[in-house]
Structure 1
């Protein structure tokens, strides 16, 4: 349990940082949280609003994070211990041994990176390592890893994940970007487009979903595709409503020639790799936007204590307290679910977690977006005209509110994910029912 050294604005911190007991966090986790807060506050958060206004985080920030080994915590736990030790990295900042790292350490890092309330500045630094590198680590051959992993883990090169296309968002199986082998069989020739690719504009490489076979999921593979400055690749930034500094990118691929050795895993297995990667992405989004909801709601709470209308503060108005209470209840419920979810990740094997929590991961991400919508909307309304203004007291909550669609759509749009969650739960139930019946036990309701 962390003991605060100052009064905590209600809803601004998770319970374990507000002086309340928690069964989840060890001394190692609390030490890591303090290390994170000190480094991230100094090197990212104090300039986050400024950089989001300017629409780009300076390159030196990525370099600083890389040199301090503050990019590696973006990887899903457990960390790639063998690779890290091979590169001479035996401990993470704060003295946590790489083999002792668990998903609670990862979640603390993600939460602290999001403490400005804005997803853009943090995402500009983290998304490539978080989502672009894991497919190579998990499914790439030893030879592929030797070629790319050392520079990526050290931050000497940058990566991104490139799946979405203009006509294939949540419908991943509809990917059309083609990768056809050359006549000599030595290269894939890639043609197509990728859209809404976070960090793409700065990326040296992408873990890219391509179609190497027929239509449907079975025709999808993943390749490591060079991007920045590579022949046949054209990239431009997209102007989106929120998370502007994260570098959302449109990529065109015109007869891009990539060695066949750049295949990740096996041809035709790309859909499996993408789905596995989505679990980490969706949980990362859930953690991030839950913190953004905290920032928005606590800012509104603090504002209502000082803003006066009709001869008294807004907080003295029952209707205002009622609005804050409803959002606060949703926020703390979501926060508790995320925290419980992460704890379960530390106790289950990767295979168990994928099976038992895969559908729930989709739901926890989708619900996080809905909670952010409620809390950001509440904050904007309580800030009144200030909440509708891109400068001054309400600037931050106005910025957060513009990020709501970026929480509810990427990583699988909301309706798709809620449906996916229930379909997965049905599938698990049916398998368990079949198993009981094969054992001669009754599975009737």
Structure 2
């Protein structure tokens, strides 16, 4: 039995007490770590270098019901039980899955240190299926959810365009109702779509309103992708996460059944926003684990690496860098734990209202923490950390993924501004409510 490297796991897994995690959470973590290690962690670097995760891996995770935990909590229990899925690994009943279980899952899946292999498996399900569960008609759900929830088919979220990223209201891809009313005809392009190249469907933000209608003209449509007439897809090569299947999608007169509309026309922005807490918490947890992997690797390296006649860890400047990065890391993790706990205690509506701004801040700060930890690891590894092979290769790979944590899912500056605007809005709303009550 070996002593764990400092910072290599969250405090609750290093033997320290926690107010959040109970026996169910500990049993869940113990059950999923060996599975993830065998089926993902042991091969992650190899697959990311190849820029491709073999198709059987998604199937392996699907058979073990290990894609399902990427969905928001609570899980769609009625649907899962209809499909014969009553328990997850370790005997966790689907109705008992909460956001602390979700946090543990996201953290364990990111122990690869690389978001590409993990993202190739979970991003589409985590972001693409929830709007269908919340707003899809019963007819649409019956048609596609059985295959999606059992991982026989795949779905992604397609919002970003060549000229519209964090500014979702600037989307120009159009969906026009056909004369017969049975179809939407979709034209446009989507860019930087994670998992898109492998997906059968995209939950897509489209413009059903006139040009210039902004957010009010947006709708959500489930668009068939693979082998569907008018759809062309190609892989995009990006600086980090190369195995996540980042895709450019072109849509030319694509006919989509009218029943694939989610909810009502013009409500697309609102529908997309209902999954933001889940999306950004999942990203923040994964990115924080990446920071942990980088910092723990650096700590282990300086314990054994010698320079100027003694181990690097005996140099005050080295200890200072570790301390500064470690303080940021553990502060960020404590916030993520608190955030997940709050989401287990708040209703969906209350969580959307109270945490909507702060989840953007949580995600943005995760990127800042990763930047500090990756930078620390790179400097402490020296030339080894700048080399695409050998003992520092993982550090070099993580370092390239820092922009992928700070830009997608709402870029850092946009989310920082959004957080404050949402807090101001919430403050004014509550102030008006108090004033109204005082006048009664």
Q: Does 1:44 align with 2:43?
A: no
Which residue, out of 207, 214, 223, partners 2:203?
Answer: 207
1:141 and 1:12 map into 2 onto residues whose CA distance is 45
Per the TM alignment, residue 437 of structure 1 is displaced from its structure 2 partner at its CA by: 1.2
Residue 279 of structure 1: how far off its partner (Å): 2.0
Count, aligned residues: 437
Cα displacement string for residues 386-430 of structure 1 (whole angstroms, at most 9, x for unaligned residues): 111110111001100100000000110001001101111111111
- Match of 2:202, SS state, is strand
Match of 1:223 among 214, 221, 224: 221
* Large movers: runs of 4+ above 4 Å: none
What does residue 95 of structure 1 align with? 91
Task: Report SS of the residue matched to 1:7.
Answer: coil
Q: Distance in 2 between matches of 1:350 and 1:275?
A: 12
Q: Distance in 1 between matches of 2:361 and 2:232?
A: 35
Instruction: Give the SS at the match of 2:90.
Output: coil
Q: 2:293 aligns with which of 289, 292, 295?
A: 295
Cα contact 2:159–2:204 (8 A) shared by 1: yes
3-state DSSP class of the match of 1:8? coil
Unaligned 5+ residue runs, structure 2?
none
Give the structure 1 partner of residue 410 of structure 2: 412
> C-alpha displacement at 1:97, in angstroms?
1.1
Aligned equivalent of 1:359: 357
Structure 1 residue 6 displacement after superposition: 3.3
Tell me what 2:251 maps to: 253
- Does the Cα contact within 8 Å between 2:137 and 2:259 map onto a contact in 1? no
Q: What's 1:109 paired with?
A: 105
1:421 and 2:419 equivalent? Answer: yes
Distance in 2 between residues matched to 1:24 and 1:146, nearest whole Å:
37
CA distance in 2, matches of 1:424, 1:150: 37
Deviation digits for residues 9-50 of structure 1 (CA, Å, limit 9, x no counterpart) = 001100000000001111110010011101101111000000
From 162, 165, 172, the counterpart of 1:166: 162
Does the alignment pair 1:8 with 2:4?
yes
Partner of 1:305: 303
How far 1:222 sits from its partner (Å)?
0.6
CA shift at 1:278, angstroms? 2.2
Q: 1:101-139 CA deviation, whole Å, 9 max, x = no partner?
A: 101111111110000110000111111111111010011
CA distance in 2, matches of 1:278, 1:175: 18
Q: Distance in 2 between matches of 1:436 and 1:134?
A: 35
Quick check: 1:182 aligned with 2:178?
yes
Matched residue, 2:114: 118
The residue correspondences of 1:5-404 to structure 2 (distance < 5 A) are 6-214=2-210, 215-404=213-402
TM-score by length of 2: 0.98
TM-score (structure 1 length as normaliser): 0.97
Query: Does the residue aligned with 1:298 lie in a helix, a strand or coil?
Result: helix
3-state secondary structure, aligned to 2:180: coil
